Structure 1
Amino acid sequence: MIDPERHAENRGWIESKLRKIPGFRGYLEKEYRRESDYVVRAWMAELLQKSKVTLDTYSRTLVESLQIDDLPAIERARARLDQVMSKIRGDVRGYSAFFGFVNVDEQRLDAVYDQDMEMVGQVEELVAAIDQLTSSGTGPKEVASELLQRIGDLEQRYLRRHEILKGLADGTPTETEP
């Protein structure tokens, strides 16, 4: 699994020399932003992918206990999880209008990173909730309802991130701006 915290440690000594070339540092910074964006999203998508195994096991348990009428609710949650995971994983590396700039408004950049950190926390909480809810003895419809709510919250956070990125591109103010 890609570890976002170790991403920066993989840079070599030659890169430190290249950063001294005029103009090259800005290019590297742009590429770092793009790569960091990809690494964080890939890591979140991978966690979500692994949590689907738990949902699949839970679905099999429902079938084995002849609770087939409850399967559609769990399948809706799983399908929604797939959709959100695909959005997170499938975006291009770095929003080109944002990540292409060498000089970026630090306040807006902080807003994007804040959204990313909130999303990381939400993904971790969602994965933990999937594990906890599917083993708690809670009814399948309640499990599905709770998961759909959490998945919806994650999707809203991801959409908000897109709004911030678009605001960076077209000058639209973000919530952090007057």
Structure 2
Amino acid sequence: MEDLRDKSRAGENALETLMRKIPGFSGYFDRERRRDTDKIQREFLARRVGQLKTEMQGLQEEILSSGNLSLVELLDRVSNKMDRVIERLRHASYGQAGFFDVVKVNEAELDRLYEFDLSLLTGLSSAEEALMGLRSVLMTGGEDAAARLADFRRRVEEMDASLDERERILKGVG
């Protein structure tokens, strides 16, 4: 994924460029752009996790039709965890503190959040690879479907744990 911070600044119009020259406004303007970039990035991640969940549900139907009911309960738990990750991504804090907020977030911390959110993309790719492995085992009739599903579940749980770390960064304890 390209760096949205550079792309957002490159898309400035003449009025925005002029407003940036007003003393004190430039910092405000940059923070607003960071917040918008953060939101776009998290929405992108939430959509990708949603697509991954849809793919997993397709596999769930295959597993049900094959009669392998032992995996269905685990798939349901993974599905619930994915719902949690999607909601946490969609509703995560922007990383912007208001004037009266107890915890203040400076620009360096906002940049750290942006980089952290980019690392979530790596975790998502890892989960996609694990799901592809599960799919290939199911298609070939392999015996280690439970192990592949456990690997996929672990990677989804790692994404959820990463969102815990993101919250700690925002609170200034990470």
If the TM-score is normalised by the length of the shorter chain, which range does it land in?
0.7 to 0.9
Distance 1:17 1:149, change over 3 A: same
Identity of aligned residues (%): 22
Q: How far apart are residue 125 of structure 1 and its match?
A: 2.0
Structure 1's unaligned 5+ residue stretches are none
Matches of 2:105 and 2:154, distance apart in 1:
38
Q: Read off the aligned partner of 2:95 and give its amino acid letter.
A: Y
Matches of 1:10 and 1:66, distance apart in 2:
54
Deviations 1:59-95 (A, max 9, x none): 1101211223321111111111111111111224x13
Matches of 1:77 and 1:61, distance apart in 2:
16
- Please state if 1:161 is matched with 2:163: no
Q: How far apart are residue 143 of structure 1 and its match?
A: 2.9
Q: How far apart are residue 46 of structure 1 and its match?
A: 0.7
Matches of 1:157 and 1:44, distance apart in 2:
13
Of residues 128, 137, 141 in structure 1, which corresponds to 2:146? 141
Deviations 1:34-58 (A, max 9, x none): 1111011111111101111211110
Distance 1:105 1:19, change over 3 A: closer
Matches of 2:85 and 2:19, distance apart in 1:
38
SS at match of 2:132: helix
Of residues 96, 103, 106 in structure 2, which corresponds to 1:104? 106
Aligned length: 166
Q: Name which of structure 1's ranges 130-139 and 97-106 shifts more when overlaid on structure 2.
A: 97-106
Query: Who is 2:45 aligned against?
Result: 44
Q: Name which of structure 1's ranges 65-74 and 4-13 shifts more when overlaid on structure 2.
A: 4-13
Q: How far apart are residue 157 of structure 1 and its match?
A: 1.4
Matches of 2:98 and 2:170, distance apart in 1:
6
TM-score, scaled to structure 1: 0.78
* Higher RCO, 1 vs 2 (CA within 8 Å, ≥6 residues apart): 1
Q: Read off the aligned partner of 2:151 and give its amino acid letter.
A: E
Kindly indicate whether the alpha-carbon contact (under 8 Å) linking 1:45 and 1:89 is maintained by their aligned counterparts in 2: yes
RMSD: 2.8
Kindly indicate whether the alpha-carbon contact (under 8 Å) linking 2:43 and 2:89 is maintained by their aligned counterparts in 1: yes
TM-score, scaled to structure 2: 0.80
Kindly indicate whether the alpha-carbon contact (under 8 Å) linking 1:119 and 1:157 is maintained by their aligned counterparts in 2: yes
Matches of 1:131 and 1:54, distance apart in 2:
10
Distance 1:90 1:104, change over 3 A: closer
- Please state if 1:15 is matched with 2:20: no
Distance 1:82 1:103, change over 3 A: closer
Query: Who is 1:84 aligned against?
Result: 85
Matches of 2:167 and 2:104, distance apart in 1:
19
Q: How far apart are residue 98 of structure 1 and its match?
A: 7.8
Matches of 1:110 and 1:19, distance apart in 2:
19
